[in-house]
Amino acid sequence: MSLNPDLAAFLELAENNITNGGRAPMHQLSPEQARREYDASTEILDTPGPLVANVTEITIPCRDGQSIHARLYNPFDAAILMGPWPVLLYFHGGGYCLGGLDSHDSLCRTLAVLTPCCVLHVAYRLAPEFRFPTAVNDAQDAYHWLLSNGSELALDISRLAVGGDSAGATLATGLTIAARDEQWLQPICQILLYPCTSAWQNTNSHERLAQGYLLEEKTLQWMFMNYLRGKADRTDWRFAPLQADNLNNLAPAFLVLAEYDPLLDEGIAYAEKLSAAGVSTRTKIFPGMIHDFARLGNIVDEATRVRQDIADMLSKTFYRSSSYEPDSLCSNFIHANIQQ
């Protein structure tokens, strides 16, 4: 399928702003400048998320004595439906250098309401101030914190999923590998939106889509150079999960990929390796889409569609036992929130 025409117009405008408008490409910006532009663009490119019954700011302690911030979205009215509630632990994208709680607020709100489930969105520390493996350690610390403290927030850790987009998806799937190796509780599913999985960006899709499709090769390498300490980090499975010796006994995976994303081929390769290892794996490639399309709600309808697909997958996983079915009153409350 050809590139979605609305995306084509958007990309043409973005290119014109660089060529004729004097705007520098991301790889020529400082991390601080790139973050400001990334955050500012969110308000233009994405729609506001739905109202959520309860949104709580949380501080999570880390192994090095520092702390990170997280945001818990709870769509349930406790007066209608008591917990414990299922929860998705979510990690945002941004190449380990960009993004935060606000850049993915709409996405997390929508998943919380549509599923319905609680969503704990983690703001791991960013590079280059905090290089590899700080983001990995922060993700693991957030996972342990949730396992230890979830019950106090009426969260059901027996119904815990992990997910993320781009670099955040890499952190999420890395958690399942670490959980298996360290004999931690394995999540019940992993939601992976266009994950970074390869040590080297040399696939056909990287070559075909190196420029002009939002996530450009120079930008991607700028991100990785800011994040990685040296060449040895590239072949660490925590950065490139395709390097893992095996992917056996991991949580079922749902991979969302985009036809015009440089990461397409490595996403397919990871899905195939998961499946070959016996992991229940579902892959959906969205035709005509580019990287990060799930946050382009003001540009393409597929941003809404992919959120519904993820919510459907989570709902089937969280509520597959009839004893967990949310009652009709809760469902009415959720749909009312969506309408707002």
Would residue 326 count as lying in a domain?
Answer: no
In terms of DSSP bridges, do strands 253-260 and 281-290 run parallel, antiparallel, or are they unpaired?
parallel
Would residue 295 count as lying in a domain?
Answer: yes
Nearest to 201 by CA among 216, 179, 190, 191: 216
pLDDT in single tens digits along all 340 residues of the chain: 899 999 999 999 989 888 776 789 999 999 999 999 999 999 999 999 999 999 999 999 999 999 999 999 999 987 677 789 999 999 999 999 999 999 999 999 999 999 999 999 999 999 999 999 999 999 999 999 999 999 999 999 999 999 999 999 999 999 999 999 999 999 999 999 999 999 999 999 999 999 999 999 999 999 999 999 999 999 999 999 999 999 999 999 999 999 999 999 999 999 999 999 999 999 999 999 999 999 999 999 999 999 999 999 999 999 985 455 554 434 444 444 444 3
What does 86-147 look like in DSSP terms, one character per residue? EEEEEE--STTTS--TTTTHHHHHHHHHHTT-EEEEEEPPPTTTS-TTHHHHHHHHHHHHHH
Identity at 125, one-letter amino acid code: R
**Whether the model pTM is above 0.75:** yes
Would residue 97 count as lying in a domain?
Answer: yes
Contact 317, 309 (CB under 8 A): no
Residues 156, 119, 312, 331, CA torsion sign: positive
How far is the C-alpha of 335 from the C-alpha of 333, rounded, in Å?
Answer: 6
State how many domains the chain has: 1
- Residue 194 DSSP class: S
Would residue 333 count as lying in a domain?
Answer: no
Query: Catalytic site residues?
Result: 166, 261, 291
Assign 43 to helix, strand or coil: helix
- Containing structural domain, residue 272: 5-319
Nearest to 139 by CA among 98, 171, 112: 171
| Tokens encoding 91 | 């990690």
Would residue 177 count as lying in a domain?
Answer: yes
Contact 267, 197 (CB under 8 A): yes
Would residue 330 count as lying in a domain?
Answer: no
Query: Residue 242 maps to which CATH number?
Result: 3.40.50.1820
Cβ neighbours around 5 below 10 Å, total: 10
Would residue 327 count as lying in a domain?
Answer: no
Would residue 329 count as lying in a domain?
Answer: no
